[in-house]
Chain A
Amino acid sequence: MAKFVTLKLLRLIGVVFAVSALTFVMVAMLPADIAYDIAGQDATPAQIEAIRAELGLDQNVLVRYGHWLMSLAQGDMGRSFRSDEPVLDAIWSRLPVTIELLVLSQVFALLLAIPAGVYCAYRAGSRFDRVLGSTGFGMISVPTFVLAIVLIYLFALRLEWLPATGYEPFSEGVWANLRTFVLPSLSIALVEWVPLMRTLRSDMIATLKEDFISMAKAKGLPAWRILTRHALRPSSFTLITILGLQIGGLIGGALIIETIFALPGIGRLLINAIYARDYMIVQGCILFIAVGYVVINFVVDMLYVALDPRIRTAGAGG
């Protein structure tokens, strides 16, 4: 097990390093000199020189990368060109919103996927199973942003149950806060749950053929208890992998969902910074998201270890 964790940890460090280099190279590759972009059209050459010096653009690329890494290590990601806000502060203040959105959407997705997947496996081939299978297939063909608009139209504009856009902080009350997250997280969850459900279903069908399920049946336990206590956990390893794999898509989904619902998260920060051509914020957000993604994947791997006692003692081979 120690070997497994070390291996994953080494990979984590390697990928973080590569990601930082890539992010940096992108800025270094800018076609037009960003100094012009920042200073505006009627800047004097002196002003431009000053900005270039501040950004270190007059130095060698490797030297710049070294400097950049050094300041990164000290938690300094530079400042916004527009608002002068430190990049890291801007990200930290938006982070809770994004995390809440991601967590809630995963929770909704799992709440849909687990009962549906378990039941469909238990009654594989039944009418319910087939209908749900086709519905799921249709739903993954709906782009997240389209689904968001459909939900807004139905639940905000027609039924007027929930707000169409906007954000209430937690300080305004838990319910007020949650209300603003229902439609955004559903927009993500209603697409994300399908692969989760399918994976769980097919793994569960395989598990239900195992001898130990016959054994549990022979004990005279009721079906629901066999499904939840005996079959669910051994069937959920691929589910967790998929959960991890989906996080990339999820972050992408969160970007656009935050923009549509005007939630002040990192996605909206990034998109707005792109519109405003605020390089430092864009660079910071991309780095942050990429590293966050790698770290989450690492955590998912560790979750695997916690869930399967065989890996826990046996080691990487399993």
Chain B
Amino acid sequence: MSRSIHGFERRARVAEAVASSGARGARRRKLNVMLWLPIAWIAFVFGCALSADWWPMPEPDYMDFLSQGAPPGTTGEVPIGAFESSEGLEHYVFWLGTDMMGRDIVSRLMFGARVSLTLGLLAPLIGLVIGGGLGMAAGYWRGMLEATAVGVTDTILAFPGIVLLLAIVFYLGGSLLNLTLALGFLTVPAFYRVARANTLTYAEREFVTAAKAMGASDVSILAREILPNVIMPMLVYALLIVALLIVVEGVLSFLGLSVPTAPSWGGMIAEGREYLDEHPRLCFVPAFVMFLTVLSFNLLGDRLRGLTDVRESNI
């Protein structure tokens, strides 16, 4: 027994040595680029999603029957902004062209970012709060609480996520609220594990023992001593979850099971698929935007994880 533990520790140390060896100085610049580029792209997508209403462009659903399947750079006459409030047709350049129904791709991409980001960011927040809270409690008090929580999360994890999601969408309907709740629910076990593992490592530290000795209550120890240490690794982990959820939302909208009323990247890819042979850009432009966004969150999460030092082996 002790031997295998010993072996495991040595393995961890070897892994650390591997990770920290190599020319650090030379990688420094690359690391910074790999940190700032994703941040820039995410900020850009965010900006687009927030400001989509204010740009001089047609609504995402407006169909210009004269410019169906128009290539990038084509010009047309469209109402700018919301249809009712617009002042007649105006000259407009379809920078990325239109889809086969004559809808502006730029406009659809910008509005589509809203669904992706809303789901991608709100759902992890639910998982973060519930899973994080549970995980901290389980890691701090241990005992029955921990055993029960492990049982419950194991059962959730026993379902392949996407199937559970389909079940929820099917039985309860695919509104934005339902989807957010369902996806949030699915992320609970993951956050639970990160929170518990990190709490376990901090619960025995001197500053916690010291706080206890000074008569601090459990709740105040959790809030003041443990939370500040556990929150960073969880936030970093959340970035990876966001990347995952953007993909999941893409899958759902690709299948036509996501929020039915809003334009979405996955939906654009699904529609473009019909014309893959003649107009591959209809698929590949939204696909590329989605890829860049997912990649950015992944990169950011990965780099920051290296900095905040989450031990995967504890999870």
Contacts and interface: CB of A to CB of B under 8 A. Distances in A.
- Judged by CB atoms under 8 Å, the answer to whether A and B touch is yes
Interface of A: 11, 14-15, 18-19, 22-23, 26-27, 29-31, 124-125, 137-138, 140-146, 149-150, 152-153, 157, 202, 205-206, 209, 247-249, 251-252, 255-256, 259-260, 270-271, 274-275, 277, 282, 286, 289-290, 293-294, 297, 310, 317-318
Say whether chain A's binding surface is mostly helix, strand, loop, or mixed. Answer: helix
Contact of A153 (B11, B256, B280): B280
Interface string B236-260: 0000000100010011001111000
Most-contacted residue by chain A among B162, B243, B294 (CB, 10 A): B162
B163 A255 contact: yes
B14 interface: yes
Contacts of A259: 255
Given A141-B298, A206-B15, A256-B255, A248 B160 contact: yes
26 contacts: A11-B154, A14-B151, A15-B158, A18-B155, A29-B172, A124-B18, A138-B295, A140-B298, A145-B269, A146-B269, A146-B287, A149-B276, A153-B283, A157-B277, A202-B18, A205-B15, A206-B14, A209-B14, A248-B157, A248-B159, A249-B160, A252-B163, A252-B251, A260-B273, A274-B169, A277-B170
Contacts of B299: 137
B291 interface: yes
Contacts of B80: none
Given A145-B254, A252-B162, A252-B163, A202 B15 contact: yes
Contacts of A270: 163, 166
A298 B247 CA distance: 28
Nearest to A23: B167
A297 B154 CA distance: 12
B251 A282 contact: no
B302 interface: yes
B290 interface: yes
A5 to B, nearest CB: 18
Contacts of A260: 273
A145 B251 contact: yes
Main DSSP-derived SS at the B contact region: helix
Given A137-B298, A152-B276, A15 B18 contact: no
B255 A15 contact: no
Most A-side CB within 10 Å, residue of B155, B163, B269, B273: B163
A251 B162 contact: yes
B170 A274 contact: yes
A290 B163 contact: yes
A141 to B, nearest CB: 4
Q: Which 8 A-B pairs have the closest CB atoms?
A: A252-B162, A141-B295, A248-B160, A251-B160, A143-B247, A141-B294, A146-B287, A18-B155
A138 B157 CA distance: 26
B4 interface: yes
Interface string B126-167: 000000000000000000000000010011011111110011
A255 B162 contact: yes
Contact of B276 (A142, A153, A277, A293): A153
B104 to A, nearest CB: 22
Given A124-B18, A146-B269, 18 more contacts: A11-B154, A14-B151, A29-B172, A30-B171, A125-B22, A137-B299, A141-B243, A149-B287, A150-B284, A247-B160, A251-B163, A256-B251, A259-B255, A271-B255, A274-B170, A282-B167, A282-B170, A286-B167
B52 to A, nearest CB: 23
Nearest to A252: B162
Contacts of B273: 149, 260
B255 A205 contact: no
A173 to B, nearest CB: 27
Contacts of B158: 15, 18-19, 290, 293-294, 297
B251 A286 contact: no
Given A149-B276, A282-B167, A19 B155 contact: yes
A158 B18 CA distance: 43
A62 to B, nearest CB: 19
A211 to B, nearest CB: 11
A293 B159 contact: yes
Contacts of B160: 247-249, 251-252, 289-290, 293
A27 B14 contact: no
B213 interface: no
B1 interface: yes
Contact of B4 (A143, A274, A318): A318
Nearest to A270: B166
A302 B283 CA distance: 43
A153 B276 CA distance: 7
A142 B291 contact: yes
A289 B14 contact: no
